[in-house]
A = this chain, B = another copy of it.
Amino acid sequence: MPPKTFLGEFEQMVLLAILQRGDRANALEINRELEASAGRSVSKGAFYTTLDRLERKGYLTWEARPAEDGRSGLPQRHFRVTPEGIAELRKAREALTRLWRGLDGVLERP
């Protein structure tokens, strides 16, 4: 994980979606969160690619879990954000918060 890595816009949202779903963060749930909160829906391929990159950067980890509540029986990946990932999210949020300061009049819906 080169220290110079940078957190893309979509990557950031994926990490946040994982945090939102807490301990129920499997691929399907994360996608639902993105769709609901950000109106964003990407293909499976795009989605997993992003997850893999975030893993390589050390911003998330995952473990295989047997099927949730009995239903269909295929293990699935369950994702978690690492402390490094959280630190990045924090930095991004602080920067944006500062840049938004004083612009409420402009940036809020009429």
Interface residues of A (CB under 8 A from B): 6-9, 12-13, 16-17, 19-20, 33, 37-40, 86, 89-90, 92-93, 95-96, 98-103, 106-109
Rounded to whole angstroms, the CA-CA distance of A9 and B6 in the bound complex is 10
Assembly stoichiometry (copies): 2
Nearest 8 CB-CB pairs, A to B?
Answer: A16-B99, A38-B95, A37-B98, A9-B9, A37-B99, A90-B107, A19-B103, A93-B107
Q: A6-B9, A20-B102, A86-B107 are in contact. List 16 more A-B contacts (CB 8 A).
A: A7-B9, A9-B9, A9-B92, A12-B96, A16-B99, A16-B100, A20-B99, A33-B99, A37-B98, A38-B98, A39-B95, A40-B95, A90-B108, A90-B109, A93-B100, A96-B96
